[in-house]
Every structure is written in C-alpha cells, then in structure tokens.
C-alpha cells in the first residue's frame, strides 16, 4: 500500500512539472507571434541571450526591427 502511495505522489509531481513547463512554452509561443511584432508588424531579431545558474533558465531577447519593441522569452525561436 505504501508503494502505491509513493508512485501516486511521483506521478502527481511529474504532471505538475510538465504542466509548468508547458505553461512557459505556450506563453513564449504567444509572445513570439510567429516573429511578428504586434505593435507595428515588424520582424523580431534575436539581440541577446543570457544563461542562468541552473539548467533551463536561459533567456532570449528579441527586438522588433521597426519599432524597437523588445520581448524576453525562455524559449529559442528561429527567425524567419
């Protein structure tokens, strides 16, 4: 019975971790907007990357080539 409880807890933890990663990726995808700035419809260009202390804490900064609007993402997107 104890083993079943441990397995259930492990499954809940795994689901929570996957869900939190999915939320970040989906938020980044929405901000990315296919590389098109929502303000002026210019294209985003990668301007800087930073790497945090732990894995998965990288940040990517993209700037619009027309209006200069900058976004910070946790996911890397290829420029078109």
pTM of the model: 0.76
d(CA 5, CA 71): 43
pLDDT score of 56: 66
Q: How far apart are CA 62 and CA 48, in angstroms?
A: 7
Residues 33/75, Cβ–Cβ less than 8 Å? no
* pLDDT bracket for residue 3 (50, 70, 90): confident
Strand, helix or coil for residue 40 = coil
| pLDDT one-digit tens code per residue, 28-54 | 999 999 999 999 999 999 999 998 777
Structure token pair of residue 12: 């809940």
Instruction: Quickly state the pLDDT bin for 55 (edges 50, 70, 90).
Output: low
């Amino acid at each position: 019975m104890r083993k079943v409880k441990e397995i259930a807890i492990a499954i809940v933890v795994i689901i929570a971790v996957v869900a939190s990663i999915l939320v970040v990726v989906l938020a980044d995808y929405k901000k990315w907007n296919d590389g098109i700035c929502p303000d002026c419809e210019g294209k985003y260009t990668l301007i800087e990357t930073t790497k945090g202390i732990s894995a998965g804490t990288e940040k990517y900064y993209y700037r619009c080539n027309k209006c200069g609007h900058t976004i910070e993402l946790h996911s890397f997107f290829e420029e078109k």
